[in-house]
């Protein structure tokens, strides 16, 4: 392609014209088409939400803030990580409650049996 400022032939992949230093059309098109940089923390948070929900939750919250502040992509990813982390923590919490409830009823029935005997 040719630089629209000075008319010199430059690389199609050039972001800045080496001759005059003006931003090329591909650089401008890249900005307007919304090819945003994806927030790395959003991806990390999403992965962590499956492994360590609490760490995934924290990462996703920070990633959402960073996406808003820097205009980076990945806000959707961060939201997914956030939801998955919360859901997973609820499941874990529910599991703990069930275990305690079962253990509790076992203990009470055992103590009942010993008092009867």
82 binds Zn ion (CB under 5 A): no
Residue 46: both structure tokens together: 């999403």
54 binds Zn ion (CB under 5 A): no
77: exposed, middle or buried (Cβ count in 10 Å: 0-12, 13-18, 19+): buried
> What residues contact 4, with CB distance under 8 A and at least 6 apart?
22, 24, 25
The span of 16-24, 56-64, 75-83, 88-96 binding Zn ion (CB under 5 A) equals: 16-24
Residue from 2, 15, 19, 105 touching Zn ion (CB under 5 A): that is 19
105 binds Zn ion (CB under 5 A): no
- Give the integer Cα–Cα distance in Å for 13 and 30: 11
11 binds Zn ion (CB under 5 A): no
Binding positions for Zn ion, rule: CB under 5 A: 3, 5-6, 17, 19-20
């Amino acid at each position: 392609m040719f630089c629209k400022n000075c008319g010199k032939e430059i690389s199609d992949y050039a972001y800045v014209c080496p001759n005059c230093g003006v931003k090329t059309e591909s650089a401008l098109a890249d900005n307007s088409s919304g090819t945003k940089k994806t927030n790395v923390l959003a991806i990390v948070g999403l992965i962590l939400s499956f492994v360590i929900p609490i760490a995934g939750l924290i990462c996703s919250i920070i990633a959402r803030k960073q996406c808003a502040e820097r205009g980076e992509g990945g806000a959707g990813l961060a939201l997914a990580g956030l939801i998955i982390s919360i859901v997973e923590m609820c499941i874990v919490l529910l599991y703990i409650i069930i275990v305690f409830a079962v253990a509790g009823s076992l203990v009470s029935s055992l103590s009942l049996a010993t008092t009867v005997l």
